[in-house]
């Protein structure tokens, strides 16, 4: 590799050819402020449109200032990152940006967690000259089931557009209008609900301002909890416990399972249950479906659909409904754990506590924004009453806990309630990429071969690589497994299936980078991907420490089948735990 | 036929190179082009010259890009030639967007084959077999004539395979622009042709390395190409004797504004502004006093009396605080308010900014707002400092040429007409009498006969007075429509 010598702020450095000024400066410990630039290391995600112009620096011999995020270094380059020309330009540009940004920080969902706010503080902006007569660009606020778009706060950093188009290949967001009126949104200024949006929430996860936020359901939860006629049940998704601590100043990767349970109990939930229980149930249903298809296939049935695709991720479900509707009979029909939980809670459990369906409120705590959309899908309602009433994100839960004057740091560890709070390690690892398929393999292997697994950790299925492949030996039968996180990567595997070139028997897909631990409802990572890895490690730690690590050994699952469902894929299971998919492909007609 | 200016336009001092055939040949008949040595250069290139010879010839000629940037054309070709790829492209930028400029349209309407021939020559020299003309859809006649020209060239074996019996093949397609000014910027133009949003990206990589669909692409504008065949026919040494040391050949200007003869002129580089305005343009309309000339389109600057004897070339215009641009030249007289002029151009750039980078998207809007306030008499001295700082920062930080030059009208008027700004801000006066908000209508008592005509015509009842008595205009009510002044037969109403 060619090396290049340059000088930044009077310090010499040698870097590889093709390095940007921003990265070279970082190696010297000089942190040039950036706003639109975003680099998710290890995930191959980089956004550098060079649009905000905050990161400009002075380069000797160049007429104008250079955007450091997108200017490569050259031999002998002399850079000044803090000349008065640069500082004045940076501040003036910041004043421009703020002059077209609402000043409602007090009530903004992003306040205290906003990259723009941090930058305004860093650059010492104290007033915006001419604000009193500066016109602001205004747009209609778009309320979708999961995501709220307030484009008045859009700074055109294009991060959301990059995530939606390049990473997810969903293509719901792109720039529209030009000049002062330019902003990012669905084509023809459609509402998100009318677009191909999957509600994965990755746009929200990277938005530096309050332009994209989750639809907040905390008020609904407070209302339910304060209604004496309602029994309120809560379920917590596996990825939440690995990230919630961050909102309370804990190190990324801190597990707060017990503290989260006690916080929920103190908030007033009548029963604190675990989505992991439903994850075990998912494995029973999905694993059985996999084995069923596999057995038929190995028996010579040419009609059987393989590979089977996981169906836990609601954004992924929306994705294939929008883009691959012709393949909607390939994914498993098993509902997601959130919806299985809701269906069981409002039947089996409601009966147990002699409560009518209408008087039972099911709240889910999810790392995900698509779960909000999933919860209100028509097929998951009975006479208009949803199986899951409200789905709130990890961030929203943190707000609720803080509002109740609780400090997660000093809360005692408590256990989930029974019966829907017991789970195996297999249910826990649902929260990270590769986890669902590993959990399925643990059960499918033992059910298929009748033998006990000697080693439960399938290292070959773990990791952060975009698309992973592994072959698991089912006692002489090699089973090819594919894993993808990120819908763009999923698209590649789907295209292979469509072309009849897929080598896999089973594929796990999660929409978000790293899986649910990197979900759109998680505490914001602010481009630090080491946080995602720490969360994944925490999930595997929780699994390793569980006494039961296989779904089919969860005694409460076995009891549920015995008392209520019969067996996996039974008629009752089909009715409560399985679903169907719909063709949601959109055709835009231009008249 | 192409509009080549008023009949009174003096041909003295003009040399026609780019406009050589315009108005002379029937552009819809390839034989007429051939009769004027058309396609001779292409034949010579393909049968007698190596690609590197052609590039050397263009380099030696000193031809610089006529689209505004003034980048040496030969160098651009050379870079594109050096970048190896399985496919390369020759693009003609016919997205002429400067208001008032129409030289590219005239060339395409009057001499389309010159451009086609040049593109084929360029393709041969850089190793490209495909040409694309990006033309704005608002030019239907130019598009029609290009289509005819391309068809005829194919029929005559001058486009297509085995040109002049060689292995070389070259063909051209047309792409339409939807009227965005920024798509004249080459990276934005390429995005638009690819079906993407017309937005510029950071250079490098330059199109010569990674252009249309990532392939090496040479982008020149219409007028640049129009110079190429004649250079190769007559030789670099013929061409580089015309013009100044660093700017060779001629430049076509679209002369407009308060000038007697408006239209296109083609003059050798080095001609002075005075020669263009007074000798070719015939001087100021109604023999009023010359005040300024704005060159370089909406992003150019306003030059004054003291610049009149500056020889026009790329570098001199930049040094004087303006630029060549694509060759717009708008002459202003004493009735033009320079703050309003700056505001007018900013209004255009605000409208045409793509919105990608913040200084251009928001900064230009703020500049416009401030100028607007000054023309309304709401400006303060502090605002003039802010105008200058914002302008400098926008130039210094914008992503593409649009934002890097859009504050030029503000900066050049601040430099050359600072007193006029001060008059607006401190005295609340518009010397040129253009800013309505700063004007007051008065009755000259000695002239008023009390005929009541003004009071009757006033739409807002601002004028009072008895018959045969002196009338009075209430400035609080007056909306400055000017109806009274027009109606008064006794010159009793003036505006100050």
pLDDT (tens digit, 9 = 90+) per residue, B210-223? 999 999 999 999 99
Nearest-angstrom CA–CA distance, B349 and B320: 21
* B369 interfacial to chain A (CB closer than 8 Å): yes
The answer to whether B396 contacts A174, with C-beta atoms less than 8 Å apart, is no
CA B298 → CA A186, A283, A443, B4, B71, distances in Å? Answer: 32, 66, 71, 22, 20
How much is the average pLDDT of A401-415? 97
Domains A97-214 and A219-577 alike in fold: no
Cα A522 vs. chain centroid, distance in angstroms?
A: 7
User: What's the confidence (pLDDT) of residue A303?
Assistant: 86
Angle between helical axes of B140-155 and B103-110 (0-180°, round to 10): 40
Nearest-angstrom CA–CA distance, A328 and A325: 5
User: What's the confidence (pLDDT) of residue A475?
Assistant: 86
The answer to whether A179 contacts B354, with C-beta atoms less than 8 Å apart, is yes
How much is the average pLDDT of A25-51? 95
Task: Name the interface residues of A facing B (CB cutoff 8 Å).
Answer: 49-53, 56, 64-65, 67, 70-72, 85, 88-89, 92-93, 96-97, 99-100, 129-130, 133-135, 155-156, 174-175, 177-182
* Chain B residues in contact with A100 (beta carbon < 8 A): 362, 365
Place of tokens 């990674």: B210
Which residue ranges of chain B lie beneath pLDDT 70?
1-10
Query: What is the three-class DSSP state of A192?
Result: helix
Query: How many other C-beta atoms lie within 10 A of the C-beta of residue A190?
Result: 17
Report the residue of B185, B187, B352, B396 to disrupt the A interface, i.e. the one with the largest count of A CBs within 10 Å: B396
The answer to whether A93 contacts B199, with C-beta atoms less than 8 Å apart, is no
Report the residue of B177, B185, B202 to disrupt the A interface, i.e. the one with the largest count of A CBs within 10 Å: B202
Q: Measuring CA to CA, which residue among A279, A417, A259, A441 is closest to residue A349?
A: A417
Side-by-side strand order, sheet with A360-366: A271-274, A231-236, A360-366, A390-393
Q: Report domain extents, chain A.
A: 3-82, 97-214, 219-577
pLDDT digits (tens, 9 = 90+) for A230-239: 999 999 999 9
Percent of chain B beyond pLDDT 70? 98
Say if residue A587's pLDDT is above 80.
Answer: no
The answer to whether B404 contacts A175, with C-beta atoms less than 8 Å apart, is no
Q: How far apart are the first and last CA of chain A?
A: 54
DSSP string, B413-482: HHHH-HHHHHIIIII---TTS--GGG--EEE-TTT-----HHHHH-TT--EE--TTS--EE-TTT-----
Nearest-angstrom CA–CA distance, A576 and A557: 15
pLDDT digits (tens, 9 = 90+) for A118-176: 999 999 999 999 999 999 999 999 999 999 999 999 999 999 999 999 999 999 999 99
User: What pTM, to 2 d.p., does this model score?
Assistant: 0.93
The answer to whether B353 contacts A88, with C-beta atoms less than 8 Å apart, is no
Residues 6+ apart with CB under 8 A from A266: A404, A406, A411
Nearest-angstrom CA–CA distance, A65 and A59: 7
Say if residue A269's pLDDT is above 70.
Answer: yes
Angle at B241 between CA B235 and CA B245, to 5 degrees: 125
Higher pLDDT, B117 or A590: B117
Say if residue A588's pLDDT is above 80.
Answer: no
pLDDT digits (tens, 9 = 90+) for A341-400: 999 999 999 999 999 999 999 999 999 999 999 999 999 999 999 999 999 999 999 999
User: What's the confidence (pLDDT) of residue B298?
Assistant: 87
User: What's the confidence (pLDDT) of residue B6?
Assistant: 47
Give the total residue count for chain A: 591
Are A481 and A450 contacting, i.e. CB atoms less than 8 angstroms apart? no
* B362 interfacial to chain A (CB closer than 8 Å): yes
* B191 interfacial to chain A (CB closer than 8 Å): no
* B365 interfacial to chain A (CB closer than 8 Å): yes
Residues 6+ apart with CB under 8 A from A361: A224, A227, A230, A231, A232, A233, A389, A390
Considering only CB atoms, A67 lies closest to which of B202, B204, B353, namely: B202
How much is the average pLDDT of A580-587? 90
The answer to whether A50 contacts B202, with C-beta atoms less than 8 Å apart, is yes
* Architecture of the domain made up of A3-82: Roll (3.10)
DSSP tally for chain A: helices H, then strands E: 19, 22
User: What's the confidence (pLDDT) of residue A1?
Assistant: 61
Q: Does domain A97-214 have CATH number 3.30.360.10?
A: no
The hierarchical CATH code for the domain A219-577 is 3.40.50.1780
Q: What is the DSSP letter of B183?
A: G
Are A172 and A491 contacting, i.e. CB atoms less than 8 angstroms apart? no
The answer to whether A134 contacts B369, with C-beta atoms less than 8 Å apart, is yes
Q: Measuring CA to CA, which residue among B47, B48, B27 is closest to residue B38?
A: B27
Considering only CB atoms, B366 lies closest to which of A53, A130, A174, namely: A130
Pairing of strands A147-149, A66-67: unpaired
Are A428 and A238 contacting, i.e. CB atoms less than 8 angstroms apart? yes
How many CB pairs below 8 A link A and B? 107
User: What's the confidence (pLDDT) of residue B10?
Assistant: 67
Q: Which residues of A290-301 are buried (b: 16+ CB within 10 A; e: fewer)?
A: bbebbeebeeee
Taking the CA of residue A66 and the nearest CA in chain B, the distance in Å comes to: 7
pLDDT digits (tens, 9 = 90+) for B418-453: 999 999 999 999 999 899 899 889 999 999 999 999
* B354 interfacial to chain A (CB closer than 8 Å): yes
Taking the CA of residue A64 and the nearest CA in chain B, the distance in Å comes to: 5
Closest chain A residue by Cα to residue B355: A179
pLDDT digits (tens, 9 = 90+) for A427-466: 999 999 999 999 999 999 999 999 999 889 999 999 999 9
> What domains, with CATH codes, occur in chain B?
30-239 (3.40.50.11540), 250-333 (3.10.20.600), 346-427 (1.20.1440.230), 440-495 (3.30.70.20)
* B63 interfacial to chain A (CB closer than 8 Å): no
* Chain B residues in contact with A71 (beta carbon < 8 A): 202
Q: Which H or E run contains A214?
A: strand A212-214
* Chain B residues in contact with A51 (beta carbon < 8 A): 356-358, 399
């Amino acid at each position: 590799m060619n090396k290049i010598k340059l000088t930044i702020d009077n310090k010499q450095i040698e870097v590889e050819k093709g390095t940007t000024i921003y990265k070279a400066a970082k190696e010297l410990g000089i942190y040039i402020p950036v706003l639109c630039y975003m680099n998710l290391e290890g995930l191959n995600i980089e956004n550098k449109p060079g649009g905000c112009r905050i990161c400009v620096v002075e380069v000797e011999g160049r007429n104008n200032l250079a955007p450091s995020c997108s200017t490569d270094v050259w031999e002998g380059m002399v850079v000044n990152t803090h000349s008065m020309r640069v500082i004045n330009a940076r501040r003036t540009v910041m004043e421009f940006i703020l002059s077209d940004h609402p000043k409602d920080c007090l009530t903004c969902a992003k306040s205290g967690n906003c990259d723009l706010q941090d930058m305004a503080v860093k650059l010492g902006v104290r007033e915006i000259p001419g604000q009193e007569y500066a016109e602001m660009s205004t747009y209609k606020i778009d309320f979708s089931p999961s995501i709220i778009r307030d484009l008045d706060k859009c700074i055109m950093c294009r991060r959301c557009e990059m995530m939606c188009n390049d990473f997810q290949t969903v293509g719901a967001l792109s720039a529209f209008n030009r000049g002062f009126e330019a902003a990012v949104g669905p084509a023809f200024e459609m509402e998100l609900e009318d677009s191909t949006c999957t509600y994965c929430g990755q746009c929200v996860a990277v938005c530096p301002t309050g332009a994209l936020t989750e639809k907040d359901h905390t008020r609904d939860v407070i209302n339910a909890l304060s209604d004496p006629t309602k029994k309120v049940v809560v379920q917590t998704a596996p990825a939440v416990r690995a990230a919630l601590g961050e909102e309370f100043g804990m190190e990324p990767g801190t597990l707060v399972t017990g503290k989260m349970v006690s916080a929920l109990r103190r908030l007033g939930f009548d029963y604190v249950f675990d989505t992991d229980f439903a994850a075990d149930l998912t494995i029973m249903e999905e694993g059985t479906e996999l084995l069923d298809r596999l057995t038929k296939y190995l028996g010579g049935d040419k009609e059987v659909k393989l590979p089977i695709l996981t169906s836990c991720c609601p954004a992924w479900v929306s994705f294939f409904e929008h883009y691959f509707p012709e393949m909607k009979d390939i994914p498993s029909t098993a509902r997601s754990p959130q919806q299985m939980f809701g269906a069981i809670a409002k039947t089996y459990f409601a009966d147990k506590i002699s409560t009518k369906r209408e008087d039972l409120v099911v709240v889910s705590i999810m790392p995900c924004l698509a779960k909000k959309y999933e919860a209100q899908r028509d097929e998951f309602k009975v006479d208009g009453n949803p199986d899951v009433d409200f789905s709130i994100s990890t961030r929203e839960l943190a707000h609720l806990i803080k509002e109740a004057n609780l400090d997660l740091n000093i809360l005692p560890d408590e256990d989930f309630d029974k019966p829907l709070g017991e789970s195996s390690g297999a249910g826990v690892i649902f929260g990270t990429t590769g986890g669902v398929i590993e959990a399925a393999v643990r059960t499918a292997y033992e059910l298929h071969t009748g033998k006990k697994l000697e080693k439960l950790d399938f290292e070959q299925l773990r990791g952060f690589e975009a698309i992973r492949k592994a072959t698991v030996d089912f006692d002489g039968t090699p089973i090819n497994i594919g894993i993808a996180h990120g819908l763009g990567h999923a698209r590649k595997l789907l295209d292979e299936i469509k072309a009849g070139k897929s080598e896999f028997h089973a594929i796990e897909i999660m929409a978000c980078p790293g899986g649910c631990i990197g979900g759109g409802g998680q505490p914001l990572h602010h481009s630090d991907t080491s946080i995602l890895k720490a969360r994944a490690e925490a999930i595997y730690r929780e699994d390793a420490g569980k006494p039961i690590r296989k779904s089919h050994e969860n005694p409460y699952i076995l009891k549920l089948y015995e008392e209520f469902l019969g067996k996996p894929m039974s008629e009752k299971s089909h009715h409560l735990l399985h679903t169907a998919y719909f063709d949601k492909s959109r055709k835009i007609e231009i008249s | 036929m192409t509009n080549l200016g008023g009949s009174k336009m003096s041909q003295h001092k003009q040399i026609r190179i780019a406009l050589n055939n315009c108005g002379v040949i029937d552009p819809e008949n390839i034989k007429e082009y051939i009769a004027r040595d058309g396609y001779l250069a292409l034949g010579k290139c393909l049968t007698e010259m190596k690609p590197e010879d052609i590039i050397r010839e263009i380099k030696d000629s000193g031809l610089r890009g006529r689209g505004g940037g003034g980048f040496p054309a030969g160098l651009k070709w050379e870079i594109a030639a050096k970048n190896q790829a399985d496919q390369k492209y020759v693009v003609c930028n016919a997205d002429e967007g400067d208001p008032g400029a129409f030289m590219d349209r005239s060339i395409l309407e009057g001499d389309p084959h010159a451009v086609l021939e040049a593109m084929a020559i360029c393709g041969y020299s850089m190793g490209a077999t495909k040409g694309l003309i990006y033309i704005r859809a608002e030019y239907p006649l130019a598009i029609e004539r290009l289509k005819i020209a391309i068809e005829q060239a194919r029929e005559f074996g001058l486009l297509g395979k085995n040109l002049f019996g060689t292995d070389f093949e070259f063909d051209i397609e047309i792409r339409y622009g939807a009227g965005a000014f920024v798509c004249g910027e080459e990276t934005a133009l390429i995005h638009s042709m690819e079906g993407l949003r017309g937005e510029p990206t950071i250079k490098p990589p330059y199109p010569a390395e990674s252009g249309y669909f990532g392939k090496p692409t040479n982008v020149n504008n219409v007028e640049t190409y129009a110079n190429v065949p004649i250079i190769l026919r007559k030789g670099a040494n013929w061409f580089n004797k015309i013009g100044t040391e660093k700017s060779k050949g001629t430049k076509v200007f679209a002369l407009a504004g308060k000038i007697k003869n408006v239209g296109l002129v083609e003059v050798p580089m080095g001609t002075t502004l005075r020669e263009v305005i007074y000798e070719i343009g015939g001087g100021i309309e109604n023999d009023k006093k010359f005040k300024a000339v704005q060159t370089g389109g909406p992003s150019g600057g306003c030059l004054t009396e003291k610049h009149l004897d500056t020889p026009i070339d790329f570098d001199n215009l930049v040094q004087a605080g303006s630029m060549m641009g694509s060759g717009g030249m708008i002459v202003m007289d004493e009735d033009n308010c320079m703050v309003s002029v700056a505001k007018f151009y900013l209004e255009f750039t605000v409208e045409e900014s793509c919105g990608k980078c913040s200084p251009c998207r928001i900064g230009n809007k703020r500049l416009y707002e401030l100028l607007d306030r000054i023309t309304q008499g709401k400006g303060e001295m502090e605002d003039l400092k802010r105008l200058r700082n914002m302008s400098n920062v926008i130039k210094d930080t914008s992503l593409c040429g649009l934002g890097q030059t859009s504050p030029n009208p503000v900066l050049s008027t601040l430099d050359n007409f600072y007193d006029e700004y001060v008059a607006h801000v401190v005295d609340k006066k518009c010397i040129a009498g253009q800013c309505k908000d700063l004007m007051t209508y008065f009755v000259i008592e000695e002239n008023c006969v009390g005929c009541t005509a003004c009071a009757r015509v006033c739409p807002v009842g601002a004028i009072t007075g008895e018959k045969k008595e002196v009338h009075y205009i209430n400035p609080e009510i007056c909306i400055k429509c000017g109806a009274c002044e027009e109606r008064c037969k006794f010159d009793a109403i003036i505006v100050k």
